[in-house]
Structure 1
């Protein structure tokens, strides 16, 4: 990881220091579409520097490497495999109303299907879309109102019908299907 110099926060226009341990935005060619922008709850968050229509490709994932064990920074890609993204994409925060979707089968990040992405929007994804069981469950701070999970533990604890309202990866669909058939 490299330390990045201070830049202008695209949301407020104020000069801010970059997080201390960050990835260079040149990795994954993110410099034109992403900016580091600490917010009140997350010191390492990202905002969009591009306006894109709903469902469009945001960026391919090209630097991910498989790891032996899951941790807070990994993304689940199958029933039992995880990867490190090895780029600033690791700083996408969770939201129950995400701006992005991560498709690990296609190894790409897309703009959420239900809304356009605007310059200054925080870059978020729905963590249970990739994670069956979170390494470190947490209380959600997304302000999605009644659509908020409250506590994010992973897809394992979300009812199948409720989970359908979000984009989820195929490995999560399969794990939920297996879990549901075990219960019946």
Structure 2
């Protein structure tokens, strides 16, 4: 992933089509039992009986939120999926050179450590962002492409 960051916003340096893997997550990710604004939630009974978190420990932590994101984290297979190189960041839509990368913060957290009032400006802006637990079924259905199944809410 070749990116440049300005004022804690991540932009991409070239065009990418929808569905493109932008980054593979690796050894920089560390399991954390502590939920934090810099962590991402995943499900793995081998690591923890409940949903666990990992720290990105990379510039990916600076990807901004949008209720209509252009990237999503794919986290299949629990921690073993990371060890097998299957965890990644992929594009949800075409991304043009210089476009800011955004993901839906609620897509990787059941209940967020630091809820916030969203000001993304998208036509589907949800307002208060608190985690997937706080979304209604209609919103979950609309966001199904980028809410991982580990939350237990996606068919």
Q: Please, what TM-score do these two structures have when normalized by structure 2?
A: 0.83
Residue deviations 1:110-158 (CA, integer Å, cap 9, x gap): 001xx2011111111011111101100001111102x011010000110
Q: Considering only aligned residues, what root-mean-square deviation do their CA atoms show, in Å?
A: 1.3
Equivalent in the alignment of 2:54: 83
Please identify runs of 4+ aligned residues in structure 1 that moved more than 4 A.
Answer: none
Greater relative CO, 1 or 2 (CA 8 Å, sep 6+):
2
- Residue by residue, what CA displacement relative to the aligned partner does 1:10-50 show, whole Å, maximum 9, x if unpaired? xxxxxxxxxxxxxxxxxxxx3xx210022xxxxx1111112
Q: Post-superposition shift, 1:66? A: 0.3
Q: For residue 120 of structure 1, what is the aligned residue in structure 2?
A: 98
Please say if 1:34 is aligned against 2:3.
yes
Which secondary structure state, in structure 2, belongs to the residue aligned with residue 144 of structure 1? Answer: coil
Equivalent runs, 1:12-51 vs 2, <5 Å: 30=1, 33-38=2-7, 44-51=8-15
Q: Does 1:168 align with 2:133?
A: no
Number of residue equivalences? 136
* Cα deviation 1:65-89 (Å, max 9, x = unaligned): 1012111100001252000011000
Q: Is the 8 A contact 1:99 1:121 kept in 2?
A: no
Match of 1:74 among 34, 39, 51: 39
Give the drift of 1:171: 1.1
SS at match of 1:59: strand
Shift of 1:168: 0.6
- Aligned-pair distance for 1:57? 0.8
